[in-house]
């Protein structure tokens, strides 16, 4: 028999910041990553699809592609590499939030919701988890860069990883907002396919916006992925080969940070509302 | 603090749109008791459970647990509450230990204290040798035990369980109840449990019967059964209405038609009132009686006595 608890003093654990935010965020993040990695088909799906995309589109369109002012020998596979990196992150981050719907359906979420943790820890656990997963996948793909003669930017690597983390965080938050009110994964897939692919297509990943029609340019201008792509390209391909249409590096970073922070606030607000009749 | 109002519920009402699911419900749960909440589907017991577990917002009324108000201190209530849901809340892809560790972390337990607590509880629930197994490989009965162990990790003041034996075979149900009674006795944890099974309800110290959002009665199972003084006679017959009027005119017996059978409550007082009445009925209605049974009152009879409806048919009507 262990120590007998006194029934009138039931909470031996103080409710401080560490206990209600830090520890639960850490534990939920860890669970998110472990759970994803135990489902092998998900890992493969999130990584293989974009790579196939990259080779097929990249090789097929290669000869007909010649961006303005690009240096001699700059291939489409190279141009397309940062875009593919972004696509991998987009897929992994957004689809990691399917676990919210699964958690709700399988019941895990009700245990989390009735625990005394801060609601923001529920959000942060998911967003850190999704961001880390997207980062892992991106780094795996990054190791393929030498195949297309893109040198891995060893010096800028810490900065690149930080950048990719911020992008992953924002994208996971986007998925969270869509997934939180939903009860079925099929609904999630439908919504995501409707605006995920266009979001990516109109980021400059596939073609530079320079020659596009005016309305397309405007969409690109308000597309956060556009700034993510510009920042990745800046680090990965060198500032010299920057697209003329790309925003300045500092501006891209600022947009990404604001995007991530705004969506985090929105996620937390959504989660704090107690869902009636769930 | 008086021990009679550990959990205090006053004038609790809840609406889903136009439908009133709980109607000014009031009751108290005392420290250390096993309090049963009995009612058919649609009686409002799941709504009450979801409000207590903080999943549904408190609309009207007050709920206080250990002097903490559900309206003003959600986190305070959540700390004091262990919740076992009717549906599973474990992550099937994780092992038993991983599930328990994560849950402990959500309640601020970590390190050696958490490990020790997991050891104690998995010993008690005889799941220690399954700690490394992923949850989805366990049987339903084992998963339920992990659920209950999970709910007890942080030594809650009140453990609430929503139909904890749903989907379990009879042996596993008896097991689980044995564990619950042990926990109640040894760890001094107050338990509130909802059920629609009469035999489970009889294991509670006190029992509240809910029907259509209203409190029908609240007392110990023994007292409730004693409220029906004598035995219960059930008659199966081809024409219930004919027999009903026959018994009423010949024997001055008051009977009810419940689920196609005629039901008569034999008056108490004499121990052989029941058997004698059976003989009288058979003699009076010769040829009309297909079968006749005499039984001691059960909680089901109490429910029929109070609501005029059979428990299962009540659930069909409400569903």
Looking at the domain assignment, is residue A63 inside a domain? Answer: yes
Residues of B in contact with A41 (CB under 8 A): none
| Helix ranges, chain B (H) | 45-52, 74-80, 96-106, 111-124, 140-152, 170-186, 198-201, 221-226, 240-251, 273-284, 299-307, 311-318
Which residues make Cβ contacts (< 8 Å) with residue A23, sequence separation at least 6? B105, B108, B110
Please identify among residues 130-169 of chain B the ones whose CB lies closer than 8 Å to any CB of chain A. 150, 154-157
Burial B101-127 (b: 16+ CB within 10 A, else e): bbbbbbbbbbeeebeebbebbbebbeb
- Strand B158-162, strand B190-195: pairing: parallel
User: Average pLDDT for residues A110-131, to the nearest whole number?
Assistant: 95
Residue A10 has pLDDT above 50, yes or no: no
Backbone angles phi, psi at A47, to 5 degrees: -95, -40
Q: What is the DSSP letter of B133?
A: S
Least confident of A74-88, A105-119, B202-216: A74-88
The pLDDT score that the predictor gives to residue A179 is: 93
Backbone Cα Rg of chain A: 21
- Structural domain that includes position A262: 17-272
Distance CA A128, CA A112 (A): 17
Taken as a whole, chain A contains a residue count of 278
In a domain, A131, yes or no: yes
Using pLDDT thresholds of 50, 70 and 90, give the confidence band for residue A55: confident
Region B229-296: CATH code: 3.30.70.260
Could you give the C-alpha distances from A167 to A59, A173, A196, A231, A254, in angstroms and in order?
A: 27, 10, 15, 10, 12
> 3-class DSSP state for residue B192?
strand
> Between A7, A13, A278, which is nearest B32 by CB?
A7
* Cα B39 versus chain centre, distance: 7
DSSP state of A212: S
| Domain membership flag for residue A235 | yes
Q: Which single residue is written with the structure tokens 């000869």?
A: A63
Cross-chain Cβ contact B89/A110 below 8 Å: yes
Q: Mutate which of B89, B90, B186 to test chain A, going by most A C-beta atoms within 10 A? A: B89
Q: Do B108 and A31 touch (CB under 8 A)?
A: no
Minimal Cα distance from A21: which residue of B?
Answer: B106
For residues A130 and A96, the answer to whether their CB atoms sit within 8 Å is yes
In a domain, A232, yes or no: yes
Please list, in sequence order, all residues whose beta carbon lies within 8 angstroms of the beta carbon of residue A50, skipping any fewer than 6 positions away. Answer: A84, A87, A88, A91, A141
Q: What is the per-residue pLDDT for A103? A: 93
Check if the beta carbon of residue B243 is closer than 8 Å to that of residue B237. Answer: yes
B residues 55-114 near A, CB within 8 Å? 55-57, 66, 75-76, 78-81, 83, 85, 87-94, 98, 101-103, 105-110
Pair B298, B25: CB distance under 8 Å: no
pLDDT < 50 regions, chain B: 1-2, 313-319
Which residues does residue B236 pair with via DSSP β-bridges, in sequence order?
A: B291
Query: Residue A136 — very low, low, confident or very high, per pLDDT cuts 50/70/90?
Result: very high
Structure tokens at B260: 């196609």
**Number of folded domains that form chain A:** 1
Taking only the tens place, the pLDDT of each residue in A174-223 is 999 999 998 888 889 888 888 788 888 888 777 777 767 788 888 888 88
pLDDT value of residue A161? 94
**The predicted structure's pLDDT at residue A12:** 60
Residue A67 has pLDDT above 70, yes or no: no
Q: Chain B contacts of A108, Cβ < 8 Å? A: 89-91
More confident residue, A73 or B319: A73
Residue from A1, A111, A274 whose CB has the most chain B CBs within 10 Å, to mutate: A111
ipTM score here?
A: 0.84
pTM of the predicted model, to two decimals? 0.83
Q: What is the pLDDT of residue A73?
A: 64
Over residues B10-47, the pLDDT tens digits come to 999 999 988 999 999 999 999 999 999 988 888 899 99
- Write down the domain spans for chain B: 3-225, 229-296
Q: Which residue has the higher pLDDT, A127 or B287?
A: A127
CA distance to A92, B24, B109, B227, per residue, from A81 (Å)? 17, 64, 45, 80
Among A2, A11, A14, select the one facing B80 at the smallest CB separation. A11
Contact B102 A19 (CB under 8 A): no
**A137-186 residue pLDDT tens:** 999 888 888 887 778 888 889 999 999 999 999 999 999 999 999 888 88
Question: Strand order of the sheet with strand B68-69?
Answer: B19-29, B7-16, B60-65, B68-69
| Residue A267 is assigned to a structural domain of this protein | yes
For residue A19, list chain B residues with Cβ-Cβ distance below 8 A.
108
Residues B3-225, CATH architecture: 3-Layer(aba) Sandwich (3.40)
Q: Does B42 touch chain A (CB under 8 A)?
A: no
CA–CA distances in Å: residue B98 to residues A34, B126, B159, B255: 10, 17, 22, 58
Nearest Cα to Cα of residue A163 among A259, A240, A78 = A259
d(CA B148, CA B142): 10
A108: in domain = yes
Are the C-beta atoms of residues B289 and B261 closer than 8 Å to each other? no
Find the CB nearest A27 among B31, B88, B105: B105
Which residue reads 């109002």 in tokens? Answer: B5
CA distance B154 to B318: 37
Q: Are strands B34-38 and B255-258 parallel, antiparallel or unpaired?
A: unpaired
pLDDT computed for residue B180 by the predictor: 92
Is A82 part of any domain?
yes
Residues on chain B touching A116 (C-beta within 8 angstroms) = 75-76, 78-79, 106-108
CA distance B91 to chain A (A): 6
């Amino acid at each position: 028999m262990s120590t007998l608890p006194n029934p009138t003093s039931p909470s031996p654990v103080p409710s401080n910041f560490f206990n209600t935010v830090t520890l639960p965020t850490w534990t939920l993040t860890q669970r998110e990553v472990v759970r994803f990695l135990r489902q092998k088909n998900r890992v493969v799906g999130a990584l293989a699809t974009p790579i196939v995309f990259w080779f097929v589109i990249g090789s097929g369109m290669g000869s007909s592609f010649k961006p303005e002012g690009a240096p001699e020998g700059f291939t489409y596979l190279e141009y397309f590499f940062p875009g593919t990196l972004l696509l991998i992150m987009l897929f992994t981050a957004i689809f990691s939030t399917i676990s919210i719907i699964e958690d709700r359906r399988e019941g895990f979420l009700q245990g989390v919701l009735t625990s005394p943790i801060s609601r923001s820890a529920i959000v942060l656990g998911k967003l850190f988890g999704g961001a880390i997963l997207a980062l892992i996948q991106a780094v795996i793909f990054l190791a393929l860069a030498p195949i297309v003669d893109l040198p891995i930017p060893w010096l800028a690597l810490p900065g690149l990883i930080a950048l990719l983390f911020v992008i992953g965080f924002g994208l996971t938050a986007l998925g969270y907002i869509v997934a939180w009110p939903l009860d079925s994964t099929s609904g999630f897939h439908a919504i995501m396919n409707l605006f995920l692919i266009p979001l990516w297509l109109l980021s400059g990943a596939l073609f530079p916006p320079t020659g596009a029609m005016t309305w397309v340019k405007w969409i690109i201008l308000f597309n956060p992925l556009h700034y993510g792509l510009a920042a990745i390209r800046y680090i990965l391909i060198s500032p010299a080969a920057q697209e003329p249409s790309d925003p300045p590096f500092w501006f891209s970073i600022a947009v990404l940070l604001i995007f991530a922070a705004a969506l985090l606030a929105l996620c937390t607000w959504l989660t704090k509302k107690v869902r009636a009749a769930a | 603090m008086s021990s009679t109002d550990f959990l205090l519920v006053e004038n609790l009402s809840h609406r889903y749109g136009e439908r009133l699911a709980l109607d000014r419900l009031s009751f108290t749960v005392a420290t250390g008791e096993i309090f049963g909440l009995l009612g058919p589907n649609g009686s409002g017991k799941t709504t009450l459970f979801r409000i207590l577990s903080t999943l549904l917002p408190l609309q009207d009324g007050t709920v206080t647990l250990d002097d903490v108000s559900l309206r003003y201190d959600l986190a305070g209530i959540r700390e004091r509450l262990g919740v076992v849901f009717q549906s599973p809340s474990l992550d099937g892809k994780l092992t038993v230990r991983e599930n328990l560790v994560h849950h402990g972390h959500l309640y601020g337990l970590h390190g050696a204290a958490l490990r020790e607590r997991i050891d104690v509880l998995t010993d008690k629930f005889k799941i220690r040798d399954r700690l490394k197994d992923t949850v989805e490989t366990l049987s339903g009965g084992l998963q339920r035990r992990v659920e209950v162990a999970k709910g007890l990790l942080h030594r809650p003041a009140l453990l609430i369980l929503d139909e904890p034996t749903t989907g379990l075979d009879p042996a596993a149900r008896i097991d689980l109840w044995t564990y619950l009674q042990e926990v109640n006795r040894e760890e001094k944890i107050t338990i509130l449990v909802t059920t629609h099974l009469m035999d489970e309800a009889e294991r509670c110290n006190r029992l509240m019967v809910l029907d259509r959002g209203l409190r029908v009665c609240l007392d110990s199972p023994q007292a409730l059964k004693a409220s029906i003084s004598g035995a219960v006679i059930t008659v199966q017959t081809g024409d219930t209405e004919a027999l009903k009027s026959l018994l009423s005119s010949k024997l001055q017996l008051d009977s009810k038609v419940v689920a196609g059978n005629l039901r008569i409550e034999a008056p108490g007082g004499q121990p052989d009132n029941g058997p004698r009445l059976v003989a009288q009925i058979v003699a009076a209605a010769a040829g009309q009686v297909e079968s006749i049974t005499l039984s001691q009152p059960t909680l089901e009879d109490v429910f029929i006595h109070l609501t005029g409806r059979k428990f299962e048919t009540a659930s069909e009507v409400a569903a």
